[in-house]
């Protein structure tokens, strides 16, 4: 593992210009108030609240947070999301590599880079090539060592890339992947500038992230969190890519994480791949959704307010009736939902979690203790509110015995459903 200490900003800030086009015409969409950062802790450390507010740029239509939280506050060694824990996510990452290899044949010594490599699950699917992962969380960078040729414990940058051995850094990457992390970047232009310096002229960049239309259509306000600084559509990411002589030659929607889209990107002067008809179809779909209209977002905000109110009333009523209620999945995104609904450890007694690193800790924002799935089955809660609601099929299959014995799952989105 190669450890690099990059200089990163450590101050919370309000933005006054768009992160992509630098326009100062930012228009308010909605606010979820001041919320605690997502964290899982032991004891009762003092934690701070920060605003969660969405704005849209009138010039390029990028939806984004009105504030930036320093990465140092978010990606600590307590950071809990692990790709290899969830079967659905493992299959998704394997599929990404499979699709990448169909579009780009790899030779034995070709360079492949994964930005935000987490525990190395994606890189483990490559059977050839020199594989490099960039991961700022030390424990994950360490875990990914067994799956890649080089694991860089740092945020991706061209300067961090230069820490690789000379024989490697002189190569150009044939494939670069950035999965569920591109929207976390405060300076997407700087990021892409560095990507263009390491990407082969005939190489491909694959970015997969939450899809703005998916968030709107599924009322997925839990996707609004301090980590996610931008909320991209195909139109807004194409606007950004054009500034770097790049464009999307193929795109796919995937239901992962409540609705994501995967963009396959190349340099404009690369004619190796034809532009897929899927790109045109998605552009047409986005036009119908009126993603540049403020009314689209006002309507979304109105639906979110209604769901928050309904879910709050439902849970508090069930608790008042004497029901034992747990959370299912101590997820980062769920932190937004439980704070927005004003839940606490007096109405929800525990959070059930599969990741052993979280056991024995508490959800920092609400002090709800985190327990194992086995302990939850012993406790037999009447209801479990599912925070990673987008893994519904997997959870229903895994917990069929709990449901058969009279337990209930509450799926909060896209509308409240009790199973």
pLDDT tens digits along 244-259: 999 999 999 999 888 9
pLDDT on residue 285 = 97
Per-residue pLDDT averaged across 285-314, rounded? 98
pLDDT on residue 188 = 98
Residue 411 has pLDDT above 70, yes or no: yes
- When the pLDDT of each residue in the chain is averaged and rounded to a whole number, the result is 94
Cβ within 8 Å of residue 341, ≥6 positions away: 308, 311, 312, 315
pLDDT on residue 357 = 87
CA distance 117 to 133: 5
Q: What domains can be seen in the chain, in order of their start residue? A: 83-292 (3.40.50.150), 318-418 (3.40.50.720)
pLDDT on residue 8 = 56
pLDDT tens digits for range 190-211: 999 999 999 999 999 999 999 9
Task: Tell whether omega for the bond before 232 is within 30 degrees of 0, i.e. cis.
Answer: no
CA distance 203 to 6: 26
Residue pair 123/84 in contact (Cβ under 8 Å)? The answer is no
pLDDT tens digits for range 75-116: 766 666 778 888 889 999 999 999 999 998 899 999 999 999
pLDDT on residue 5 = 63
pLDDT on residue 112 = 98
CA atoms within 13 A on the CB side of 269: 5
pLDDT on residue 84 = 82
pLDDT on residue 349 = 98
Three-state SS string across 245-260, please?
Answer: CEEEEEEEEECHHHCE
pLDDT tens digits for range 17-38: 999 999 999 999 999 999 999 9
In this structure, the strands spanning 2-3 and 26-36 are unpaired
CA distance 66 to 16: 8
Kindly state the percentage of the chain with pLDDT values over 90.
84
Confidence of residue 6 (pLDDT cuts 50, 70, 90): low
- 3-state SS assignment for residue 331: coil
Q: What does each C-alpha distance from 19 to 55, 158, 408 come to in angstroms?
A: 11, 20, 43
pLDDT on residue 82 = 74
Residue 367 has pLDDT above 90, yes or no: yes
Per-residue pLDDT averaged across 319-337, rounded? 96
Would you state the torsion angle of the CA atoms of residues 77, 83, 86, 89, taken in this order, to the nearest 10 degrees?
Answer: 150
User: Is 92 exposed, middle or buried (CB count within 10 Å of its CB: 0-12, 13-18, 19+)?
Assistant: buried
Confidence of residue 7 (pLDDT cuts 50, 70, 90): low
- 3-state SS assignment for residue 45: coil
pLDDT tens digits for range 129-164: 999 999 999 999 999 999 999 999 999 999 999 999
Q: How much is the pTM?
A: 0.93
Cβ within 8 Å of residue 296, ≥6 positions away: 216, 289, 290
In this structure, the strands spanning 362-363 and 40-41 are antiparallel
Per-residue pLDDT averaged across 282-292, rounded? 97
Confidence of residue 9 (pLDDT cuts 50, 70, 90): low
Residue 1 has pLDDT above 80, yes or no: no
Lowest-confidence pick of 56-60, 172-176, 306-310, 354-358 = 354-358
pLDDT on residue 79 = 67
CA distance 301 to 295: 10
If one counts every other C-beta atom within 10 angstroms of the C-beta of residue 276, the result is 15
Residue pair 209/256 in contact (Cβ under 8 Å)? The answer is no
């Amino acid at each position: 593992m190669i450890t690099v200490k990059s200089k990163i900003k450590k101050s919370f800030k309000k933005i006054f210009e768009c992160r992509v086009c630098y326009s100062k015409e930012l228009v308010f969409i909605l606010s979820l108030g001041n919320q605690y950062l997502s964290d899982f802790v032991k004891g009762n450390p003092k934690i701070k609240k920060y605003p969660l507010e969405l704005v849209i740029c009138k010039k390029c239509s990028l939806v984004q947070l009105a504030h930036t939280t320093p990465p140092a506050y978010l990606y600590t060694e307590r950071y809990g999301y692990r790709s290899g824990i969830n079967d659905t996510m493992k299959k998704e990452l394997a599929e990404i590599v499979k699709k990448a290899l169909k579009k780009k044949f790899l030779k034995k010594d070709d360079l492949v880079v994964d930005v935000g490599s987490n525990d190395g699950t994606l890189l483990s699917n490559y059977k050839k090539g020199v594989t490099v992962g960039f991961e700022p969380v030390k424990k994950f960078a360490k875990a990914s060592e067994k799956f890649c040729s080089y694991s860089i414990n740092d945020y991706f940058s061209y300067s961090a890339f230069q820490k690789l051995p000379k024989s490697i850094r002189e190569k150009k990457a044939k494939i670069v992947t950035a999965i569920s992390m591109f929207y976390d970047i405060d300076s997407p232009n700087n990021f892409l500038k560095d990507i263009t310096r390491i990407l082969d002229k005939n190489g491909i960049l694959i970015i997969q992230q939450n899809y703005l239309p998916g968030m709107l259509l599924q009322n997925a306000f839990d996707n609004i969190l301090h980590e996610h600084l931008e909320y991209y559509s195909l139109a807004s990411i194409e606007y950004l890519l054009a500034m770097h002589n790049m464009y999307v030659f193929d795109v796919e929607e995937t239901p992962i994480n409540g609705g994501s889209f995967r963009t396959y990107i190349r340099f404009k002067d690369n004619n190796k791949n034809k532009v897929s008809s899927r790109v045109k179809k998605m552009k047409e779909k986005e036009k119908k959704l009126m993603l540049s209209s403020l009314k689209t977002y006002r309507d979304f905000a109105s639906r979110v307010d209604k769901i928050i109110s309904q879910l709050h009333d439902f849970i508090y009523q069930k608790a008042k009736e004497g029901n034992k209620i747990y959370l299912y999945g101590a997820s980062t995104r769920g932190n937004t939902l439980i704070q927005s609904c004003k839940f606490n450890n007096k109405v929800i007694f525990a959070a059930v979690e599969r990741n052993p690193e979280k056991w024995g800790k508490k959800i920092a924002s609400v002090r709800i203790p985190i327990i194992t799935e086995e302990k939850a089955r012993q406790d037999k809660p009447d209801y479990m509110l599912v925070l990673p609601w987008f893994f519904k099929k997997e959870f229903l299959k895994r917990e069929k015995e709990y449901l058969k014995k009279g337990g209930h799952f509450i799926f909060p989105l896209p509308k409240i459903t009790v199973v």
